[in-house]
Amino acid sequence: MAERTGSELHGDESLQITGLSSAGTGRRGDIGFLDGDGKTPVEISADISALFVNAANVKHVPESVAYLVTSVPRYAHGAAALAMYQPRHLVWHGSEAISPEASIHEEAIIAPGAVIGPGAVIGEHSVIGANAIIGPGVQIGRNCSVGPGASVYCALVGDNVKLLAGARVGETGFGVMPGPKGAEDAPHYGRVILQDHVTIGANSCIDRGVFDDTIIGERTKIDNLCQIAHNVVLGRSVLVAAFGGISGSVQVGDGAMLGGRVGIADHVKVGEGVSLAASAGLFRDIEAGETWGGTPAKPIRQWMREVAWLQKNANPKKTG
């Protein structure tokens, strides 16, 4: 790995690497990375075997962990990942639209033009629409509906799930990292997990995780034209109205309701039962049960008072 990525190795050069992870979730045999200015504390798994780091983060590396120093740790980590793994749908080929290695229940319905990859499983009474694509290894449960032109990769889909026309499940997210020649796309090796009774609207996108999974909880309903980024976790019975955009690694609690055009910044935690008014832009965590609105979002009464004050002072009554 040091030779392939041009990194400087510190530690046991015979160490065997068997997996990839983030620094905080690594297991024995995994390699992760540390990037940034090194000024803030970082979480490093006690079990991780090795790390790519820049010079600023060398001080954070535990004594028991081998490390490779490079100016572009995440890029080097991605290069190592590509040498070890490649998503199956990127190398999938063959002349059959429906692979003989797929497992399709005899009572499932496959419309003309649908493409189903090797190792895919389609459950009882599920319907795959015209020109839909089910990638290699995708598991789809019973009584599901995949609309025309939808695509599903790197995903586990429960029972009674609906994907409307043009939905995109399991594509890579907007992970951009600096490389030697400029911006590079970060590889994604996680999955999308859609639990039972989930609905994904037409032309909505659910990105797969980078290392961990993107998870959409039971009975969550996502409207048309929504974007759910990598590593997002939505709880049970969450409602997301049209044009909603949720950035990477956001966590949303059970029963939350997001109005149309709501946007949430990355790594934000939204409590159970929270309501966000239409067009709200959320940049910080919210406790359970609260209702917020505005951009930047704030408690709804505070936001409405500010709007009323602005309207009053921007349009003062004329006096004779």
Give the Cα separation of 49 and 12 in Å (integer): 10
Q: Please tell me the distance from the alpha carbon of residue 221 to that of residue 164, in angstroms, as a whole number.
A: 12
**Rg, C-alpha atoms of the chain:** 23
Closest of 4, 230, 188 to residue 87, by C-alpha: 188
Q: What letter represents residue 123's amino acid? A: G
Q: What is the number of other CB atoms lying within 10 angstroms of the CB of residue 95?
A: 4
Run of H or E including 73: helix 73-84
Closest CA to 174 of 248, 246, 265, 97: 248
Q: How does DSSP classify residue 297?
A: T
Q: Which residue type, as a one-letter code, is found at position 199?
A: T
Please identify which of the residues 77, 89, 197, 230 carries the catalytic annotation: 230
Q: Quick count: other Cβ atoms within 10 Å of Cβ 1?
A: 20
Parallel, antiparallel, or unpaired for β 145-146 and 127-128? parallel
Please name the residues in contact with 92: beta carbons below 8 A apart, sequence gap of 6 or more.
117, 118, 135, 136
Annotated catalytic, 93?
no
A 10 A CB-CB count for 37 gives 8
Of 28, 26, 2, nearest to 14 (Cα)? 2
Question: Looking at the annotation, which residues are catalytic?
Answer: 230
